[in-house]
Amino acid sequence: MRVGARNLITDVAGLYVGNAQDAGLKSGSTVLVGDAPFCAAVSVMGGAPGTRETDLLAPDKMVQAVDALVLSGGSAFGLDAASGVVDALAAAGRGFAVGPVTVPIVPAAILFDLLNGGNKDWGQNPYRVLGAAAFAAAGQEFALGSAGAGTGATTGNYKGGLGSASLVLESGMTVGALVAANPFGTVAGPQGHFHAASHEIAGEFGGLGVDAAFNPLAGPHSAKMDGFNPRGNTTIAIVATDAALTKAQALRMATAAQDGLARAIWPAHTPVDGDLVFAAATGARALQDETADLLRLGHAAAICLARAVARGIYHATAAKGDVLPCWINR
């Protein structure tokens, strides 16, 4: 395997990412959209998820493709970011045809960033506008760190953020990950060593290596427990590939990718996190050996997601009113 040209989820051809954020709000939204509708699935392993239109992603449900996926801050308010994306898609004539009506299908997931020092005293929910702006900004290049859904994210000891990473398999298939990391747990130790350090490629998140002093018997400790709210969490992610997958196969890839969260966050999948992973498959490359290809896709997705989590925290930048320091300023 090798890293993709951009080391972003948009190394999967035909996929684009857009971010929109509000500095005063300390929050934002991120959209993944394709040239065409794509197969999608979702794996939920956290105890406190917040979602929209995820039931239809089950393999036994009728809709076989979606038009976009949304990751957003704002807790339940942030689900309205998907409405802004639906509006934009409808205006472009995109969506699921139901007779003379076209209905855009846009599943979404949110994280809790309402206690991060931002101004949440809005008169009208701002996330519909943020979703539409993120859709309008979609492209192959996009910012990491304090951007989009990662703008106001926090971890157990450092500021959180939006991360992405990619790999190209020997088969030529590409896998990428996109994540807004806002966990109860930590992503790096007190000296800055990332828990995902064993997966780092070419110093992409600082090159400090593994923490020789890491003690699995100590903790877990989170500043959220001591400082602002142990329930203000959730890591939400998308893993994508250009392989042709069914919804059941995409679900298997999303499930395998959850290992990446467990490698990068300590602890992950807690009762106070809504951790989930969407999978997206554009269908450009047929599987040659179903069992072997699915195994490799899941393995690559987990590696990409672990790296993406660390990259999100590595690229986070300081802003006025932050409740936690950035990793880069530790």
1 in a structural domain = no
* Cα–Cα distance measured from residue 162 to residue 274, given in angstroms and rounded to the nearest whole number: 16
pLDDT in tens, 155-176: 999 999 999 999 999 999 999 9
CATH number for 165: 3.60.70.12
pLDDT of residue 231: 62
What share of the chain has pLDDT > 70, as a percent? 98
Exposure string (b/e) for 142-167, b if CB count within 10 Å is 16 or more? bbbbbbbbbbbbbbbbbbbbbbbbbb
What share of the chain has pLDDT > 90, as a percent? 88
pTM value > 0.95: yes
Q: Which of 35-44, 119-128, 171-180 has the lowest mean pLDDT?
A: 119-128
For the chain, how many structural domains are there in total?
Answer: 1
| Full domain range(s) for residue 200 | 9-329
225 in a structural domain = yes
Name every residue whose Cβ is closer than 8 Å to that of residue 207 and which is 6 or more positions away in sequence: 200
Q: What are residue 280's DSSP bridge partners? A: 40, 240
Residue labelled with tokens 């997601």: 305
2 in a structural domain = no
The phi and psi torsions of 148 (rounded to 5 degrees) equal: 50, -135
Mean pLDDT, the chain, whole residue set:
95
Contact assessment for residue 193 and residue 306, using Cβ atoms and an 8 Å cutoff: no
Complete DSSP assignment for 74-130: SGGGGGGHHHHHHHHHHHTT-SEEETTEEE----EEE---TTSSS----SS--HHHH
| Residue 228 reports pLDDT greater than 60 | no
305: left (phi over 0), alpha (psi -120 to 50) or beta: alpha
| Residue 96 reports pLDDT greater than 80 | yes
82 in a structural domain = yes
pLDDT of residue 224: 77
